[in-house]
């Protein structure tokens, strides 16, 4: 099919999806009467490494996709073809044998009935059997039928080899993507979905956070973690190719020297490769975070498909406790996110150029400070905290970096002069559901006498070194949100900053 004709037909279908929100009957009639049949290709990308125990369930869930009842009329004039593209990355178990066996059974396209979607399995593997990392495997999987389809009408759907797709995932995310009428916006959009866990309720705090983010908070909290889970990603092939795919680690034989940074070609605009924390081995890690911020840096948009009861989430995310993400050093993640923050906020927004404040003089705040490039690090005017011991110490001193930064009480950042000496304290961080009454009491603000306030100010020796315009400085909060029963959020709100402009959450 001619690419221009195919694209115009996709545009027409998009307008139909848009109107479907207002008149389903009229839209269905329009599709029956006017819309010509068109083809859309979906590649489900699955990297495989030692996944024998879960692999077959994962692939089967991708092969057995259907069109749910509420979308059948809409998709009647769209021929969807799914290729489940798996690349084995040097597995040492029976994963490759399982792939070959399933290929024999599912190598040819099948469509059982009008509700089913045509699907077949494609496999690849490293010729030398040497593992190269998940990013490398995903890139190779996307190439399995790249030359056989048009990137204009092709979409990529990501899945991990231990996760399971709901039967309607492809149809649901495709419908959401096609509802974006503007093609330029569609090509810049990465769609994720809500998920559930195996075992049920594992990592409940993370799941509750990720599944509950509003459209606004998907962007506002993007420097804390990837706000859209990688195994739920759905995007156009054109976008994937524009971004250059995933960063790949070099072959082990190319960098025999332990810890040596490879001579890496960097075609990307952002290219999150840290000059100090990265080496030939770590480039295999955090591939989702690197791609996520590359996408956002290139004017990318993110959306979340939210399921509504009684429907189920589109992906079931397996928790094994031994995933690559769980073994990625926290220090590396902090360094890469700091690089992204520098590139998209600190070096772009002029209101951060004259200096800023780090909220939190603990582990996360110090990691963030050390991760900054020297020129940007020099802009940090002070740390703020609530811990009396840290404030009494007066400074955070790092002899290796040659820095000495004051530590003061957070209330001194307030734009309201009357609020600058109000004392508030955190409750103990409790990761159990809902906490308890004792924790809530610990989080309550205690009244201070004027004598106590004066004493606390005297125990802030770093204060005298701060510039007078303290209340105007932007702030990076390096203390975890949602862990103190609202105390942190209340304190942050009290200083009068605008989140997403002169205040960002980082931890």
Length of the chain in terms of residues written: 507
Q: Write out the H or E segment, with its range, that includes residue 171.
A: helix 169-178
SS (H, E, C) 398-428: ECCCCEEEEEEEHHHHCCCHHHCCCCCCCCC
Structure letter (DSSP) for residue 86 = E
* Model confidence pLDDT, tens digit, residues 98-154: 999 999 988 765 554 556 799 999 999 999 999 999 999 999 999 998 877 777 789
Pairwise CA distance, residues 459 & 392, whole Å: 5
pLDDT band at 325 (very low <50, low <70, confident <90, very high): low
pLDDT of residue 427: 36
pLDDT of residue 116: 77
Instruction: Please state, rounded to an integer, the average pLDDT across all residues of the chain.
Output: 83
pLDDT of residue 203: 82
* Model confidence pLDDT, tens digit, residues 275-295: 889 998 999 999 999 999 999
Say if residue 17's pLDDT is above 60.
Answer: no
User: Could you tell me which residues come within 8 angstroms of residue 438 by beta carbon, excluding any fewer than 6 positions away?
Assistant: none
Residue 45's DSSP bridge partners are: 85, 158
pLDDT of residue 440: 42
pLDDT of residue 310: 80
Per the model's pLDDT, the better-predicted residue between 155 and 251 turns out to be 155
- Picking from 131-135, 278-282, 426-430, 461-465, which range would have the lowest pLDDT averaged per residue? 426-430
- Smallest CA-to-CA distance from 386 within 406, 369, 361, 366 is with 361
pLDDT of residue 34: 44
Does residue 94 contact residue 52 with C-beta atoms inside 8 Å? yes
SS3 content of the chain, % helix, strand, coil (to 5): 40, 20, 40
pLDDT of residue 321: 61
Say if residue 4's pLDDT is above 80.
Answer: no
Per the model's pLDDT, the better-predicted residue between 407 and 107 turns out to be 407
Report in angstroms the alpha-carbon separations of 397 from 98, 283, 406, 475, 506. Answer: 55, 31, 9, 20, 22
* Cα Rg, the chain, nearest whole Å: 26
> 3-class DSSP state for residue 203?
coil
Domains and CATH numbers, the chain: 3-321 (3.90.550.10), 349-505 (no CATH)
Say if residue 490's pLDDT is above 80.
Answer: yes
pLDDT of residue 130: 94
């Amino acid at each position: 099919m001619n690419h221009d004709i195919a694209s115009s037909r996709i545009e027409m279908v998009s307008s139909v999806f848009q109107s479907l929100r207002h008149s389903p009957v009229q839209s269905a009639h329009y599709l029956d009467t006017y819309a010509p049949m068109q083809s859309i290709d979906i590649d489900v990308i699955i990297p495989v490494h030692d996944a024998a125990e879960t692999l077959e369930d994962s692939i089967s869930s991708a092969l057995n996709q259907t069109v749910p009842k509420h979308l059948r009329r809409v998709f009647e004039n769209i021929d969807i073809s799914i290729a489940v593209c798996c690349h084995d990355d040097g597995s040492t178990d029976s994963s490759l044998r399982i792939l070959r066996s399933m290929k024999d059974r599912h190598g040819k396209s099948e469509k059982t009935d009008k509700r089913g979607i045509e699907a077949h399995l494609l496999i690849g593997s490293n010729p030398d059997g040497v593992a190269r990392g998940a990013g490398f495997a995903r890139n190779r999987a996307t190439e399995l039928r790249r030359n056989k389809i048009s990137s204009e009408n092709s979409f990529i759907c990501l899945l991990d080899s231990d996760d399971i797709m709901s039967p309607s995932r492809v149809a649901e995310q495709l419908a959401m993507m096609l509802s974006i009428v503007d093609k330029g916006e569609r090509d810049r959009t990465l769609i994720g979905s809500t998920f559930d866990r195996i075992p049920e309720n594992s990592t409940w705090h993370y799941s509750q956070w990720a599944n509950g983010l509003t459209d606004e908070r998907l962007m506002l909290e993007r420097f804390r973690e990837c706000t859209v889970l990688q195994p739920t990603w759905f995007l156009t092939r054109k976008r994937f190719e524009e971004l250059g795919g995933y960063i790949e680690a070099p072959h082990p034989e190319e960098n025999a020297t332990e810890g040596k940074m490879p001579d890496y070609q960097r075609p990307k605009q952002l290219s999150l490769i840290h000059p100090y924390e990265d080496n030939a081995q770590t480039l295999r890690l955090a591939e989702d975070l690197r791609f996520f911020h590359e996408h956002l840096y290139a004017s990318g948009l993110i959306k979340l498909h939210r399921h509504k009861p009684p429907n189920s989430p589109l992906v079931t995310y397996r928790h094994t406790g031994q995933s690559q993400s769980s073994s990625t050093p926290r220090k590396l993640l902090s360094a890469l996110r700091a690089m992204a923050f520098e590139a998209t906020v600190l070096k772009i927004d002029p209101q951060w150029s004259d200096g800023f404040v780090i909220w939190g003089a603990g582990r996360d705040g110090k990691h963030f400070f050390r991760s900054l490039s020297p020129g940007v690090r020099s802009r940090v005017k002070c740390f703020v905290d609530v811990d009396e011991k840290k404030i009494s110490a007066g400074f955070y001193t790092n002899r290796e970096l040659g820095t000495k930064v004051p530590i003061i009480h957070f209330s001194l950042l307030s734009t309201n002069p009357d609020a600058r000496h109000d004392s508030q304290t955190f409750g103990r961080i409790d990761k159990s559901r809902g906490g308890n009454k004792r924790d809530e009491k610990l989080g309550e603000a205690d009244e201070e006498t004027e004598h106590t306030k004066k004493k606390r100010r005297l125990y802030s020796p770093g204060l005298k070194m701060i510039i007078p315009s303290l209340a105007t400085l932007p702030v990076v909060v390096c203390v975890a949100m949602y862990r103190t029963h609202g105390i942190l959020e209340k304190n942050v709100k009290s200083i009068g900053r605008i989140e997403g402009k002169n205040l960002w959450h980082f931890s």
